[in-house]
Amino acid sequence: MLSGEVAPEMPTFLLACRRERVPRTPVWFMRQAGRSLPEYRKRRGAGTLLEAIHDPELAAELTLQPVRRYGVDAAILFSDIVVPLDAIGFGVDVVQGHGPVVERPFRSSSDLSRLRELEPGVDVPYVIETVEAVVRELDGTSIPLIAFAGAPFTVASYLIEGGPSRTFGRVKALMHSDPRTWGELTSRLAELAGSFLRAQVESGARAIQLFDSWAGSLSPVEYERYALPATSQVIESVRDLDVPIVVFGVGTGELLALMASSGADVVGVDWRVPLDEARRRVGSNHAVQGNLDPSICLAPWSVVEKEALLVLDQAGEEPGHIFNLGHGVLPETDPGILHALVDLVHSNGRAGVVR
């Protein structure tokens, strides 16, 4: 158990997700566990990312490190969006500094047979063990654990391109030329994500984040036609779990209203759209999460402070804001800056804060 905290009736992160009044603005950081932390580098060792994820004791420790150091209001599972694919034997790896790489990329409808259903107890018992270990450690604190998975479009982009892409040419060629195969592929990926998320929540996670990192490569028409249906399928499949659901993508300013229509409770916003405008686009029925540019955190504290206060000002006073970066923490970020940023947000956030 983390020392010294007594849990309120509901953690501030969960209250903000539900657009309820909070004692202070909650804050956490995407990629808060990782290479920016010296204790991460020391503990992680020389193994691969997937090897670390397969080790429940190690993965739990890496999940908890930023909670201890920063005093953030949520933990997020140390994992990766390709874990379900790895678990069903699709042949993927995560190359440091590059991202997921697929041994045999998806090319046609004949590859659909390679995607089977996920059986969490058999395929990802190590994830279940990690979640349970983290939840035990967080018991009695005000810190919930966030489960996560990759949204079908983004996972499909890795499967089809074979790795990260700047153009998403193969992805777009397939979805436009063979929409039936595309629809079947993304539906199966939605089932995979839903099973993975359900296992995490049933093991004790109290919120969900669905990462659609590359959705910003799509036009609004493409997103509505080729990505939104499968994203909504994932969300609908776990809605009965009654936990808040966040959906997030990079470069999605023109998609925010569509993302809000997916059934998610919270829409993550990158740094390209001011939060007051993002609130207008997603509507008053949704909370927002974001959105300081991660690169700002490499600047002197005076710059970080100024920009963070601007984000808090743009968030306004209405309930429903979780402070975060507009994407993941950069590896070269000074942990001291993030610690100071948490304190700043807790002291100066106004959205829904009870004075």
> Which residue is catalytic, options 24, 35, 170, 272?
35
> Which residue is catalytic, options 19, 44, 188, 279?
44
Active site residue 80: yes
Give the containing element (helix H, strand E) for 249: none
Active site residue 239: no
> Which residue is catalytic, options 18, 31, 68, 170?
31
Taking the alpha carbons at both ends of the chain, their separation in whole angstroms is: 29
- How is 309-333 classified by DSSP, letter by letter? HHHHHHH-SSS-EEEEESSPPPTT-
> Which residue is catalytic, options 73, 80, 212, 270?
80
Q: Roughly what angle, to the nearest 10 degrees, separates helices 335-348 and 56-70?
A: 60
- How is 34-96 classified by DSSP, letter by letter? STT-HHHHHHH-SS-HHHHHT-HHHHHHHHHHHHHHH--S-EE-S--TTHHHHHTT--EEEET
Q: CA dihedral defined by 130, 132, 133, 135, rounded to 10 degrees?
A: 120
> Which residue is catalytic, options 19, 73, 86, 158?
158
Active site residue 44: yes
Give the count of alpha carbons within 13 A of 80, CB side only: 22
> Annotated catalytic sites, by residue?
31, 35, 44, 80, 158
